[in-house]
Amino acid sequence: MAIDRMKRVTFLAPVKASQRLLKSLHNLGVCEVSDVLNHYPEFKEVFKRPEVVTEECDTNLQKVQTVLNLMDVFCPVVKGFIQGLAPVPLLITKEELDYALHKFDLESVYQEAQELDIEYRKLERNVSNIENQISELLPLEDLPFRVDFFRKPKRIKLLFGKVLYANYQILVKDEYINKKCAVELVYPGRYYRKDADSAEKPVYGPKDFVFVMVACLPEDFSEVQNKLKGFAFEEITLPNINGTVRDHIRELKADLSTLRVQIQEIASKVQKLSVNRRTIEVLKAFWENRKKMALARTFAIEGRWVQVLSGYVRERDLPKLQETLRSEMPEVSIFVEDPQPGEDVPVSITLPSYIKPVQLLVNMYGLPPYDFFDPSPYLMWGFYLFFGICFGDVAYGLILLFASLYLMKRTKPYEGVYNFSKLLFFASIPTIVCGFLFGSFFGDLYKPEYLGENNIFQRIMQATTILNPVDQPVYLLLFALFVGVINQFYGIGLKMYGMVKRGDKMGAIMDGLLWLILLPGFIILVSGMFVTPPAWLTTIGWILFGIGAVGLVLTQGRDQKNPVARFIMGMISLYGIVGSYGITSFIGDTMSYCRLLALGLTTSIVAMSFNMIANLLKPIPYVGFIIFIVVLIIGHLFNFLISVMGAFVHSMRLILVEFFGRFYEGGGKPFEPLGFDSETAILVRGENQK
């Protein structure tokens, strides 16, 4: 129940056997390969890096990715409920892997997919071009004339454009325009039909744009153009097409339909290919893994005859590693050492099944350094307590319990999602307990006005309720602050434990014990502002505060050589500006635990509100009871989802910020042994292979 002890191992192997060595380490899956030169920098001048070729891996990865990308376009994977919770690895059996490598014809599938992809991209470009043409032509769709006729006149010049109707009215009255040009307002084509009544022509407002056709002699063309600009006339270049714009749009839409039919045919062919998706995903996992194994050689160094490889292995796996190499590769020598102080050792943590779920919180913050300790066992009780207070309701807890059990059953092969489900399962227990203690069952649904007088739920809740947060919020607030104080002291105690573990006993006293002396005294003195404590208790408070304050003033500035600077640093460290802690930090962190009251009240009050709303609708004739049930179900489901999310997030914050801030430092590097298993794929082995 701690950070696994690690050993640094160095392998000496003949150069010709280096590939076999990596393969053996890969099959074992117990050794993380590290850079030899990090441990033996003096070898840099003597040895060289081996040449590593990943061309085969890259080629095959490019092929499978091309196929998968095409499948994602036409037949994307529909994620199930479990996959929607979090990324889950692909579970691969040995039989699937053998089939994918030895029987599946990747090359033919790739060739077909590549041809379909090229054809699809070509069609998509054509579709895009046609859609762009249509979007450009749509504003001109109602033009009543053939566009090719616009260019036929030889002895006159035609201009087409748009102008504000107010400017058009001025333009047609202009003396120069009337002398040099012929101006025609162009209505939509439907108004030029023989059966169209002139009275039906549109009425334009001053700020409406209208289309206008202008005709002039060629020698006046430039001058007319400049004159029209004075009326904010915007000339429009008509498309180079035959016939009307509407007819051309109709032709383009027909072409578009043909292209989409062709794309649909490609989609059908890709759909047939998609039956091989899982096999292709297996191949992707294999080649990614093979590339990772090849790149591991870049951490090695070699001479003419010998290659040197180093890494880390868990102490418990060392005998297995030694025995395997002894039997499979007797020509390889292995040297075992303990990591040196300050060495960046990868971290592996082994926990009992009941503690493992809370490691999720540690992973969010960051793994501990190798020479520290794993905080998982120390934070789980606090997290479960905070969650229970925030979400405390018997019915909600029971729903969470059964829902998490269902998720655990469905997600057992997927460690990450399974542990999250298990975390919710354990959190449901304090939720139920706090629900009994706080008298909450779907809020106050057990009361007589909802379920009748003297119902069984009412009797149970009345017998178990100790504190009602809605009626007695001050008591819950005091309890939350008490929990905050205890948790702060607990965190300081863990800080002392960590410093002692690292051999810094004096630091544990100066940065931990002195605060545990000062802060209780500070609490006693501050409490005198609200209550009148006994004189002897006040005296103890002054003594504790004085001893702690003097000790901190004398020690918190110990890095300063100047005595005056040391004293000043010690004084301001009491406030919390510098140093490991501070009175203001203690007050602020403790007040953060008030969120326990806020979340607990919110869960209960929102539940009670839905009960009241449902009860108000119950008297409606005929359908009242049905509406009552529907409102209760929808309302409590909403409150359940919102409250469980809030309880998780805020409980996590109290751990990661207020609690971890007292003692914990992340930054550890996870132990990643060379092997097939990764976050994206896991090779399912038989019991005798584990």
Distance CA 120, CA 112 (A): 12
Residue 449 CA, chain-centre distance (Å), reads: 44
* pLDDT(531) > 80: yes
Task: Return the residue matching tokens 């070898």.
Answer: 43
DSSP 157: E
DSSP 562: S
At 393 the pLDDT is: 94
Element (H, E) at 214: strand 209-216
CB 204 within 8 A of CB 165: yes
Taking only the tens place, the pLDDT of each residue in 343-352 is 899 999 999 9
Distance CA 492, CA 506 (A): 14
Residue 521: exposed, middle, or buried by beta-carbon count in 10 A (0-12, 13-18, 19+)?
buried
CB 486 within 8 A of CB 588: no
- Give the mean pLDDT of 508-516: 89
Residue 530 identity (one-letter amino acid): F
- Give the mean pLDDT of 86-111: 88
Q: What are the sequence ranges of the domains in the chain? A: 144-243, 376-662
Tokens matching residue 16: 């010709």
Q: Which residue has the higher pLDDT, 2 or 206?
A: 206
Residue 187 identity (one-letter amino acid): Y
Angle made by CA atoms 225, 227, 229, in degrees to the nearest 5: 75
Could you tell me if residue 670 is left (phi over 0), alpha (psi between -120 and 50 degrees) or otherwise beta?
A: beta
Distance CA 456, CA 285 (A): 57
Taking only the tens place, the pLDDT of each residue in 556-611 is 877 777 778 778 887 888 876 666 678 888 898 899 999 999 999 999 999 999 99
Which residues have CB under 8 Å from 644's CB, separation 6+?
Answer: 391, 396, 400, 424
Mean residue pLDDT across the chain: 88
CB 244 within 8 A of CB 146: yes
Per-residue pLDDT band for 154 (boundaries 50, 70, 90) equals: confident
Q: With a threshold of 0.85, does the pTM exceed it?
A: no
Taking only the tens place, the pLDDT of each residue in 105-121 is 999 999 999 999 999 99
At 241 the pLDDT is: 86
At 689 the pLDDT is: 46
CATH level 3 topology of 144-243: Alpha-Beta Plaits (3.30.70)
Taking only the tens place, the pLDDT of each residue in 429-449 is 999 999 999 999 999 999 888
What count of other Cβ atoms lies within 10 Å of the Cβ of residue 346? 20
Per-residue pLDDT band for 686 (boundaries 50, 70, 90) equals: low
Tokens matching residue 405: 């059990």
Contacts made by residues 414-420, CB under 8 angstroms, sequence distance 24+: 414/82, 414/88, 414/89, 416/86, 416/87, 416/88, 416/360, 417/82, 417/85, 417/86, 417/88, 419/356, 419/357, 419/359, 419/360, 420/85, 420/86, 420/357, 420/360
Which residues have CB under 8 Å from 113's CB, separation 6+?
Answer: 66, 67, 70, 270, 273
* pLDDT(182) > 80: yes
CB 388 within 8 A of CB 434: yes
Which residues have CB under 8 Å from 18's CB, separation 6+?
Answer: 50, 297, 300, 302, 307, 309
Q: What percent of the chain has pLDDT over 90?
A: 51
Which residues have CB under 8 Å from 464's CB, separation 6+?
Answer: 436, 437, 439
- Give the mean pLDDT of 530-534: 83
Distance CA 357, CA 494 (A): 21
Query: Could you give the 3-state DSSP secondary structure of residue 156?
Result: coil
* pLDDT(164) > 70: yes
Over its C-alpha atoms, the chain yields an Rg (Å, rounded) of: 39
